[in-house]
A = this chain, B = another copy of it.
C-alpha cells in the first residue's frame, strides 16, 4: 500500500501558469509526524491565484512547490510516539490541518497558534502542500474523519474551519440576524456555520445573481444586489426595521464591499472581516465604528476548529455537499486548475480525488454537480 522511501506523483507549480504533474520524492515523516496517503483535495481560490500569478500577498513562487491544503487521506505510517496520536493510528482516515505552528512562542502558548510568526502553512510557497499522493503532517494536526462523511466532503472541512473561526471570532449568538457580504465559497460556508450556531435569518449580498440564488437555495432569507452600495445598504436597513444586523461578515475580498459592511451593522454590532480586500488602503467608515460602538474583527485562517467542524459536518448541521460543483481525478489535476481559473464565477468548490466519485468526461473534463 505504501510507497515510502520511494517516489510519488504530485502537482508541482514551477512558476505562474507552469503547473506540472510530476514524480517527486515521497516525504519522510519527522518525529511526531504521520505520513498520510491523500485521497481527496479541495481546490482553494488561493491555489488558483498562485497558479495564475505566481504570488499572493507576501508569498512568491520562486522555486517549485506543491500546492493544496484542503486534504483528506489515510495514515500509512506514524512516527508519533505520544498519546496525542493514539486516535490517529495507521489506517485512520484523517483530515489535515495545514498550518503547523512552532509550539513555543507566546502566541502558541496562549492558544493563538494561527498567529505564530513561524507557522509553516502547507502550500504557502516554498512549503509543499497536499496535491500529491502523500504528505507528512504532525500527528496532532491529523483529525479523525467520522465514517458518515465521504472523502470529498471531509476535504471541505478546511473551508468550513474558516467559517467556524469567523463565527467563533464574531461570537455569533443564537437567534441573531446576520449579513454575509460576498456569496463565494467562503461566504456560503460561513453562512452555513452561522446557521448551525443558531443565528439567522441571513441577508446575503453579492454582485453576481447566480451566487445570490445559490445563497437563497442554501437558506438565506434575502439576496441583495451589492452593485450599488447606497441602495444595498438601504435595502438591508429597511429589511431590519431600520436597525441593521448585529453580525456582519465580509468575505468578499472587495474594498467597496468591505467599506459597506459597517453600514449594515446595528449598534453594538460585530463586523468580521474574512476576505482580504484587493486594495490595501481604502476609505473605511470608522465614524460608524465609533458612533455605533462596533467591533471590527479580522480573521486569519483558524485555530482549534477541526474537531468541532467535523462534528458539525457529521451531524449534517453543516452540509457541504451542495457546495461541490465539479470533480476531477487526481491525474487530471492540471485540468482542474485550468478549469477553475477559466470559470471563476461558475465554480463553487472543485474536488480533486484519487478515486473520483464520478468519471469526468466531455470538453471541460468536469462533471457539473447538476
Partner among B87, B110, B286, B309 whose Cβ is within 8 Å of the Cβ of A284: B286
Contacts A284-B284, A296-B295 hold; do A200 and B308 have CB atoms under 8 A apart? no
Count the copies: 4
Contacts of A139 in B (CB 8 A): 104
A305 to chain B: closest residue by CB = B175
Q: In residues 139-189 of chain A, which contact B (Cβ within 8 Å)?
A: 139-140, 164, 167-169, 173-177
Q: Is A317 an interface residue (CB 8 A)?
A: yes
Closest chain-B Cβ to A154's Cβ sits at a distance in Å of 15
Instruction: Report the count of interface residues on A (CB-CB < 8 A).
Output: 79
Interface stretch (choices A3-11, A41-49, A112-120, A347-355): A112-120
Q: Are A102 and B84 neighbours in the complex by a CB distance under 8 Å?
A: yes
Closest chain-B Cβ to A139's Cβ sits at a distance in Å of 8
Q: Are B104 and A32 neighbours in the complex by a CB distance under 8 Å?
A: yes
Contacts of A109 in B (CB 8 A): 111, 113, 140, 303-304
Contacts of A114 in B (CB 8 A): 293
Q: Is A292 an interface residue (CB 8 A)?
A: yes
Please measure, in the bound complex, the distance between the C-alpha atom of A214 and the C-alpha atom of B345, giving whole angstroms.
47
Q: Is A299 an interface residue (CB 8 A)?
A: yes
Partner among B106, B115, B276, B294 whose Cβ is within 8 Å of the Cβ of A292: B115
Contacts A110-B304, A298-B293 hold; do A174 and B197 have CB atoms under 8 A apart? yes
Contacts of A111 in B (CB 8 A): 109-112
Q: Is A209 an interface residue (CB 8 A)?
A: no
Contacts of A110 in B (CB 8 A): 111, 268, 304
A116 to chain B: closest residue by CB = B267
Q: In residues 243-283 of chain A, which contact B (Cβ within 8 Å)?
A: 258-259, 267-268, 273-274, 276-277, 280-283
Contacts of A87 in B (CB 8 A): 241
3 tightest Cβ-Cβ pairs between the two chains A and B: A111-B111, A175-B308, A281-B283
